[in-house]
């Protein structure tokens, strides 16, 4: 028996004696009065498997380092409570709301200039661009500070009305452009009128005299005064729809715009759609901002239209049907081989759209260019000049190939590939004249050689080269000598 076992037995024996003598056995301990010890400590303990204050396994309490403890475990893997270091613990700090990243390029490219993508702390983040940042997507001009490219921030951003009887406005909440009438009586000169009627139209003088004159459908409106009758405050009489500002005449009265009257009126951007009241417009219909479109993409200006990268139509700034261009590229819809492109980023093909200048005929695969326009092709060994049928090629003519550097060989262009052709043997090089005893000529293999020409030598004993014993030569001056 170990010393510890002996001591335990003696303690138990003593307790038994005390119990037998009528003394009260202590069954609970006020642990708040006990200081921290290496064993038997109160509160948080260090041994495995404990659920209390304990030294050894099986006792209840809170264990700081216990694996599998049911209380708070600071270092335990798989603890069911709060675990600071545990792998897989729920709510772990540092989890990314979206994708993880090492560099900003890992987060992809934003589809709008009004949203900035960045890599921060290993996580991809998106933040709105600064208010009034310039943009061009969704038919807008400026970022609203909330990540949307809008049409206007002030009336000066909006197109000027076609009449002096209206001024441009910018809705402060929706950032959409509109107009408001100028005061009645303001001078004007459009549409054959001379004075503004207070309802946004330039009309004849009689249209502002407060009298229902001949040709008017109501006082100062309709008929010869044009579509100027109001649909409210109060309703005015009409004969035809063209008498009304709303373009709707029912029961001889101008009616307020609705989203089912088959007329583009009110705040609508196209017939019965768009604007602040009606449902969003379908593809190909007119819009001012992205919210006017059912697909959320408003592109262009004067006027803008709802475009889609899945409507089977080449519209907006697409370079191919439903692919390429700023809108579709931003949605990840690049063009496959054979479809049009404006830059390499428009192509999903590894071939890409090659060239420094691109035309409507460019495709991701054939790399067509304008015939004869060398700048359409990158100046490399394989794409130097343009052939409209083949795209960028090495050469169309020998002059497109580099010079050989020798009089006895010339550059060639065969099947749009550069080559070399040798000059026939015996052809004299430049600068050779009759009477030269030795003349430079081509050897038929591209080299220049010097050959004795006996036909230019006079009668013996002078001869080109002479004999081994009596070498003679003929100078350019015709003098014979050794």
* Contact status, residue 265 vs residue 277, Cβ threshold 8 Å: no
At residue 35, the 3 state secondary structure works out as coil
- Kindly list the distances between the CA atom of residue 153 and the CA atoms of 129, 266, 289, in Å, as whole numbers in the listed order: 15, 21, 13
- Residue 351 main-chain phi, psi, to 5 deg: -65, -40
The residues spanned by each domain of the chain are 99-179, 438-481
List the one residue out of 210, 211, 202 whose CA is nearest residue 166.
202
Q: What is the DSSP string of 358-423?
A: --TT-BTTT----TT-GGGS--SSS--EEETTTEEES-SSGGGSPP-S-TTEEEEEETTEEEEEEP
Tens digits of pLDDT across the chain (482 residues): 555 666 566 656 655 554 454 444 444 444 444 444 444 333 333 333 333 333 333 333 333 333 333 333 333 333 333 333 333 333 333 578 778 888 887 887 776 788 888 898 899 988 899 999 998 776 678 999 988 888 899 999 998 999 999 999 999 888 888 899 999 899 999 888 899 988 888 999 999 999 999 889 999 999 989 899 999 888 999 999 999 999 999 999 999 999 999 999 988 999 999 998 999 999 889 988 888 998 888 877 666 888 888 888 887 778 888 888 877 877 778 888 778 777 777 887 665 665 434 454 567 765 556 555 655 565 555 566 777 666 677 888 898 888 888 889 999 999 888 899 999 988 888 877 666 667 788 888 988 888 776 555 555 545 555 544 444 555 544 455 55
List the one residue out of 203, 254, 202 whose CA is nearest residue 233.
254
| pLDDT at residue 465 in the model | 53
| pLDDT at residue 391 in the model | 67
| pLDDT at residue 155 in the model | 94
For residues 239 and 227, give the distance between their C-alpha atoms in angstroms, rounded to a whole number: 11
How do strand 473-474 and strand 417-422 relate by DSSP bridges? Answer: unpaired
| pLDDT at residue 396 in the model | 83
Longest dimension (CA), the chain: 162
Q: What is the DSSP string of 201-254?
A: -EE-GGGGSSS--TT-SBTTBSGGG-S-B-BSSSB-B-SSGGGBSSS-EETTEE
Give the CA-trace dihedral at 328, 330, 335, 341, to 10 degrees: 90
């Amino acid at each position: 028996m170990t010393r510890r076992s002996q001591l335990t037995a003696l303690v138990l024996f003593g307790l038994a004696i005390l119990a037998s003598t009528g003394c009260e056995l202590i069954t609970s301990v006020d642990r708040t009065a006990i200081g921290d010890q290496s064993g038997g400590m109160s509160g948080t303990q260090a041994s495995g498997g404990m659920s209390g204050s304990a030294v050894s396994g099986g006792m209840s309490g809170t264990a700081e380092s216990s694996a599998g403890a049911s209380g708070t475990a600071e270092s335990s893997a798989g603890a069911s409570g709060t675990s600071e270091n545990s792998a897989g613990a729920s709510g772990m700090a540092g989890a990314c709301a979206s994708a993880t990243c090492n560099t900003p390029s890992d987060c992809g490219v934003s589809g709008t200039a009004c949203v900035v993508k960045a890599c921060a702390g290993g996580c991809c983040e998106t933040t709105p661009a600064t208010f009034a940042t310039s943009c061009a997507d969704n038919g807008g001009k400026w970022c609203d500070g909330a990540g949307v490219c809008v049409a206007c921030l002030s009336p000066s951003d909006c197109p000027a009305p076609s009449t002096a009887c209206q001024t441009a406005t910018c809705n402060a909440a929706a950032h959409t452009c509109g107009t408001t009438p100028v005061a009645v009586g303001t001078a004007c000169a459009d549409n054959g009128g001379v004075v503004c009627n207070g309802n946004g139209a330039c009309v004849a003088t009689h249209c502002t005299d407060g009298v229902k004159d001949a040709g008017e459908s109501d006082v100062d409106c309709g008929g010869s005064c044009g579509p100027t009758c109001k649909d409210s405050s109060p309703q005015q009489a009409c004969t035809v729809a063209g008498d009304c500002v709303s373009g709707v005449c029912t029961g001889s009265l101008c009616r307020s715009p609705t989203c089912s009257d088959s007329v583009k009126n009110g705040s609508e951007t196209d017939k019965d759609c768009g604007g602040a009241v009606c449902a969003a417009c379908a593809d190909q219909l007119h819009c001012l901002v992205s919210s006017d479109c059912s697909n959320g993409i408003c592109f262009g200006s004067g006027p803008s239209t709802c475009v889609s990268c899945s409507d089977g139509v080449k519209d907006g700034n697409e370079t191919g049907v439903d692919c390429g261009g700023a809108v579709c590229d931003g949605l990840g819809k690049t063009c496959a081989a054979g479809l049009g492109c404006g830059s390499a980023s428009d192509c999903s093909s590894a071939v890409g759209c090659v060239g420094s200048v691109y035309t409507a005929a460019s495709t991701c695969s054939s790399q067509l260019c304008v015939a004869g326009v060398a700048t359409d092709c990158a100046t490399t060994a394989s794409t130097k000049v343009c052939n409209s049928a083949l795209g960028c090629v090495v050469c169309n003519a020998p002059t497109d190939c580099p010079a050989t550097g020798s009089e006895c060989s010339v550059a060639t262009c065969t099947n749009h590939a550069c080559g070399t052709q040798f000059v026939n043997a015996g052809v004299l090089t430049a600068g050779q004249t009759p009477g030269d005893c030795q003349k430079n000529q081509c050897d038929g293999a591209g080299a220049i050689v010097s050959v004795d020409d006996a036909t230019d030598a006079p009668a013996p004993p002078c001869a080109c080269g002479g004999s081994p014993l009596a070498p003679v030569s003929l100078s350019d001056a015709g003098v014979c000598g050794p």
